[in-house]
Amino acid sequence: MNSELTSLWAYLEKHRIAIPLIQRDYAQGREGKSALRKRFLKSLKQALTSNQPLLLDFVYGDSCRDDIHPIDGQQRLTTLWLLHWYIAMRAGYLNDATTKSRLQKFSYETRTSSREFCEKLIDWKPQAPTDLKKQIGDQTWFRAEWKQDPTIDAMLRMLSGENGEPDDCIEKGFGEKQLNTYRSWWFSMIGNCFQFYSLDMGTMENVDDLYVKMNARGEQLTDFENFKADLIGYIQKQAEQQNPDDWESFNDARNGIAIKMDTAWTDIFWQQRQDGRIDELYFAFINQVWRSALIVAGDIEGYLMSEEDIQKTVLFQLPDKYEDFDIYENPGRPLDVKNILILLRQTLDNIKSYVTLCALSKDISTSPSWDNRQNVYLIPRYNEGNVIFSNGNVGGEKERLIHFALCKFFENNQLNDTAQTQFNDWMRVAWNIVENSTATEIGTMRLLNELGKNANNILDFLANPSSSISSGAAKEQVEEEIAKARLIYNGGTRSNDWNQAIREAESYEYLKGSISVLFSADYRDNTIEKLDQRLKLLENLVNDKTDDYKLIKVLISHLNNAYDLGNNIIPLVKRFETWKQVIVKFFKDVFRDITDDSVQVQVSDQAPQWIQMLANSKLLNQPRGEKILKKYGNKIILYATRKHNWNAYGNVVLDEFHTLPALSTLISGEEIQNAKPIEGTNIFAEWDVFFNKDGQSFMIACGGQLWKKNDSGEWNETENSVNKDTSEDTLRDFIK
């Protein structure tokens, strides 16, 4: 590709610019683009008034004899052409032969009407320099059907604006000046005031394919295009104001950010196009990478932004909608954009290399070993018009973290013979950490960032005793990953048998990557046989056909007598996500102590009442809402509600006053009514137990006190009380 720094005036001296049929209509002047016009016109006017050259990015084109067909840059070229026409008109040079011949070398091939309009505009001189849109519409040469041409409509709006918006058009932004000002501006314009790099891409292979890819964005300017234009402008500004060498690689005409965004990197996203569209995918990916870079940005003195700062940052809160580049340049505190561009370029270059050599762009995704339906994609895709990064049950925080881990692999790893193994190892560790981390999203991402520097040899790194990890996030899971890596690399040689055994255990849906419950505390005491044996024991208990709650009852029955729930809330509903907590968090040490392969429920007579009640009864087998085990004061409560409200219907106080044999005997003998134990148990629900006899109401309070309701409906405590040894005769005497 040949490139040169030029201006529109100099360019038109050598070439005829013909906007090709495949290009979209002129969109910069479209309705609703007032903010975009203001920014661009403001930059142009500032360059004219300050007489400082303005670099306007690249213009890519396909040459055919003396004609240039722009592939990218059409919008800027059209606006520049309209501005040249307007300034020439105001300066009195529109009838000059050279001026007219140059302007005539710009044309649209998208529609005959667009081409004819440009020709007529050059030959027309307005009566007054204001309200150009109305004047043009009143001309006899302006055909009525031209009002339906979106390019002509946009050109008129660029000339005269819309809805009274200030400075959103050429007429308002550049009007009301003296003749000598316009003439000064004219000579600046035909000089070097507005410059751009012209790249002739006619020598490239598959240039027709490039046409399709670069012009598949529809008629409207997309958020991605606006972002890209502002990003390139930012790069050029930094190159002018700072050390040019620091920005040379980003600003390079052949290999810089601009050309890569429109060519090599486009191929990465093209595989996921929908109706020829990729911009939403492109922009979503860059936003995801940029936000992640913001979270982990820092130096030896610490992270650039605190978690509180990040949560307040507009960039972190906005959906993938572009408003202004300011939130990327300065998202709350100074951010080194250059470092993010280095990261983005390195990541996308490596992805491009991987895609080119392996043709895997559609398949770069990852799922956890315990559920291959949960895919997170490196390159997002469309789903019913929306951009998605994942499917299955993945979303939100987990999705962002896994996508970050995917990017870390490609940021730090180029394709080689062992890339697939390295990728599998890294993503396995990343999934395990993300699934089992109790840290915040920001803390977990910073941990992955630290580990990701070794993504291409993560198990080697973890197994090495000299390796250090400064992050304290997901500490227990990281310690487990270190232990597993040392088992896999025991003696310095990779053991595929250990690797396979560990992956199989991690894939068990009730463990989800956290398998330390299957290990001895000292990883050196573990063998593959022991691991398999412990896994089978767990599976047998979970899948016991005689009792769905066999595992929980066994674990509870093996608790130490002195076991105290403390402030723990233990979920007991048989679901993957809740039982996993029970197994790997609350009862890990208990399970480790169970060695009998045919283990049964064995409750000591000395065990606390709540342990005996849960382990020996069918209480857990009853459908009781959330089944949350929690301490309330000095009582242990089996809650039936999500809110853990002790007085809600269906809660059970697990103490001796709720298993009164005397009360059960009187009920079975039908001497009292209404009080019924929970089905299949001898346990009474609720905080207090109510019952009736001969139209009178009685209550046994949780503390054992006996109450009777008088004729006025008031409860009166009696001097009597009961305990678990109270006989039915004693209780019968009370209710006579």
Query: In sequence order, what are the beta bridge partners of 303?
Result: 298
pLDDT in tens, 322-369: 878 888 886 655 567 888 999 999 999 988 887 776 654 456 899 999
Split at pLDDT 50, 70, 90, the class of 536 is very high
pLDDT at 61 (0 to 100): 61
Examine the pLDDT at 643 and tell me if it is beyond 80. no
Split at pLDDT 50, 70, 90, the class of 314 is low
pLDDT in tens, 225-280: 888 888 888 888 888 777 778 888 888 877 888 888 888 898 888 888 888 788 99
Q: What percent of the chain has pLDDT over 90?
A: 32
pLDDT in tens, 545-562: 889 999 989 888 888 656
Q: How many CB atoms lie within 10 A of CB 649?
A: 10
Does residue 660 contact residue 700 with C-beta atoms inside 8 Å? Answer: yes
pLDDT at 360 (0 to 100): 46
Helix (H, G, I), strand (E, B) or coil at 704: coil
Does residue 405 contact residue 452 with C-beta atoms inside 8 Å? Answer: yes
Smallest CA-to-CA distance from 349 within 251, 264, 456 is with 264
Joined together, the tokens standing for residue 287 give: 């936003």
Burial zone of 660 (CB within 10 Å; 0-12 exposed, 13-18 middle, 19+ buried): buried
pLDDT in tens, 67-109: 676 666 778 888 999 999 999 999 999 989 999 999 999 988 7
- Rounded mean pLDDT, 514-520: 92
pLDDT in tens, 420-452: 889 999 999 999 999 999 999 999 999 999 999
Smallest CA-to-CA distance from 673 within 696, 653, 654 is with 696
pLDDT at 483 (0 to 100): 94
Count of residues making up the chain: 736
Give residue for tokens 């087998």. Answer: 621
Q: What percent of the chain has pLDDT over 70?
A: 88
Examine the pLDDT at 408 and tell me if it is beyond 90. yes
pLDDT at 644 (0 to 100): 67
pLDDT in tens, 374-405: 999 999 999 988 899 998 878 889 999 999 99
Smallest CA-to-CA distance from 506 within 488, 522, 494 is with 488
Examine the pLDDT at 484 and tell me if it is beyond 60. yes
Smallest CA-to-CA distance from 88 within 53, 129, 134 is with 129
Dihedral of the CA atoms 632, 635, 639, 645 (nearest 10)? -40
Mean pLDDT of the chain: 84
Examine the pLDDT at 298 and tell me if it is beyond 70. yes
Q: How many CB atoms lie within 10 A of CB 641?
A: 17
161: left (phi over 0), alpha (psi -120 to 50) or beta: left
Q: How many CB atoms lie within 10 A of CB 245?
A: 8
Strands ordered across the beta sheet of 54-64: 2-6, 194-200, 54-64, 67-72, 16-19, 106-108
Q: How many CB atoms lie within 10 A of CB 187?
A: 12
C-alpha to C-alpha distance for 255 and 250, rounded to whole angstroms: 8
pLDDT at 218 (0 to 100): 47
Burial zone of 186 (CB within 10 Å; 0-12 exposed, 13-18 middle, 19+ buried): buried
pLDDT at 191 (0 to 100): 87
Does residue 603 contact residue 611 with C-beta atoms inside 8 Å? Answer: yes
What string of DSSP letters covers 344-382? HHHHHHHHHHHHHHH--TTT-EE--TT-TT--EEEEEEE
Instruction: Look up residue 619 and give its DSSP letter.
Output: T
Helix (H, G, I), strand (E, B) or coil at 234: helix
pLDDT at 92 (0 to 100): 92
pLDDT in tens, 565-610: 777 888 888 888 888 888 888 888 888 888 766 677 878 777 888 8
Query: In sequence order, what are the beta bridge partners of 569?
Result: 630
pLDDT at 481 (0 to 100): 97
What string of DSSP letters covers 73-108? -HHHHHHHHHHHHHHHHHHT-TT-HHHHHHHTTEEE
Joined together, the tokens standing for residue 588 give: 């890990």
